[in-house]
Amino acid sequence: MPATIRDVARASGVHISTVSRTFSAPHLVNPETRSRVLACAESLGYRPNRAARALITGRTHNIGLIVADIANPFFPPLIKAAESQARGRDYHIFVADTNEDPAVEEELVHALAKQVDGVLLCSPRMSNSLIEQLSREVPLVVINRQVAGLPSVVTDNGQGARLAVEHLLALGHRQLALLGGPRGSWTNREIRRAVGAVARSGGATLTVLGPNAPTETGGSALAEQVRRCGATAVLAYNDLMAIGLIEGLHAIGMEVPRDVSVVGIDDIALSRLTRPKLTTVATPAAAAGRTAVDMLLQHDAPAGTRGGARGTFGDDRRTTAQVTLQTELVIRESTGPGPAAEVDRAGTPEAEGPGPHPTADPGEVAVTPGEVVPS
């Protein structure tokens, strides 16, 4: 028969209410008494009833983590890090997948609101106004998105995109393409803004293709458009799209980096296993998961101080703290010299005609579904 709270109280020589406080509000219990109670509970194999504790404290000790696509290799390291960080604080994490659907995101927040103390909303596709509205129902920390008035953790993909384009410019590429991510992605807008600015300052022409599904299939489907727009180097929204693009280019007879240089973003494990190995922007996904959990729990308030919403922020629920994590360019095998570098080495332009880096035909660029951003 499982040990009960009465068994622990009897073994440790304290009242049942002291045992209850040891698990629900340990800061209110004398350290020596708390240690004795916990030791007795451990020896007896006692585990507190979380549902009963929630009725007393108003806390579930559960956290919701909503991600855009759990099949995307970017998310598992973030999820595992968040779960580990939460367990260290005696919290459990419920993970939910939206399949990039903003309507599903909203449904999940509503569904989790009464079952968790807060929600980590990762790479949301909802509008800022809706996210802000939902934060009145349950405390939120937003990952990979900045929403005014809400705590957030973002990886600086804008900085990473700038490093990637500067790398491509230094290699001699002046005809660039950006494979955009999904519609409604805040990160996609940040990447596009940064890439456009660096391309202009470097005298390069940028063709933006998108929005697109941020998947391997989404990248592969763009290979022909990349060929037609004449880009000699491509930055993709994420590694999955970059890997898909490399496969698609190979299928139409183009080689990376001989014909087109390709850069991804995220540095997922697969980027080191592809051939060629992918040059990419490393993003600290695990650090983002740990930081988001800490932000959600840092204002852990005693029962009765939460106001109208279930959660751990209490009166500080509307904190506007924002954390930005830096990214890093990892140069591997998928990027190589561009036409400008070849001209510099030869001293004169190469003869016209088909070659590894075809010059863009303005007519062809005009009929692609992308947007051409001149330098």
Question: Residue 347: its pLDDT value, please?
Answer: 52
DSSP characters over 141-178: EEES---TTS-EEEE-HHHHHHHHHHHHHHTT--EEEE
pLDDT of residue 57: 54
Provide the pLDDT for residue 45: 86
pLDDT number for residue 90: 84
Query: Distance between terminal CA atoms of the chain?
Result: 75
List pLDDT tens digits, range 67-107: 999 999 999 999 999 999 999 888 999 999 999 999 999 99
Say if 5-48 and 56-154+286-324 have the same CATH topology: no
Buried b (16+ CB within 10 A) or exposed e, 65-85: bbbbbeebbbbbbbbebbbeb
pLDDT at 231: 97
56-154+286-324 to CATH, choices 3.10.20.30, 3.40.50.2300, 1.10.10.10, 2.40.50.100: 3.40.50.2300
* Interatomic CA distance for residues 231 and 44, integer angstroms: 68
Superfamily for the 157-284+325-348+355-372 domain: Response regulator (3.40.50.2300)
Domain extents in the chain? 5-48, 56-154+286-324, 157-284+325-348+355-372
What are the pLDDT digits (tens) for 56-73? 555 778 999 999 999 999
Going from the first residue of the chain to its last (375 residues), give the mean pLDDT of each consecutive group of 10, the final group possibly shorter.
85 88 80 90 79 58 95 96 92 94 96 93 95 94 94 96 98 97 93 97 96 96 97 98 98 97 97 96 97 85 40 48 95 93 53 34 29 44
Please tell me the class of the 5-48 domain: mainly alpha
The pLDDT, as a whole number, for residue 26 is: 77
Contacts of 236 (CB under 8 A, 6+ apart): 178, 179, 219, 242, 245, 262, 263, 264, 265
Q: Is 210 left (phi over 0), alpha (psi -120 to 50) or beta?
A: left
Angle between helices 16-24 and 5-12 (to 10 degrees): 110
Which token pair is 52?
Answer: 């009963």
pLDDT value for 353: 35
Res 345: pLDDT: 55
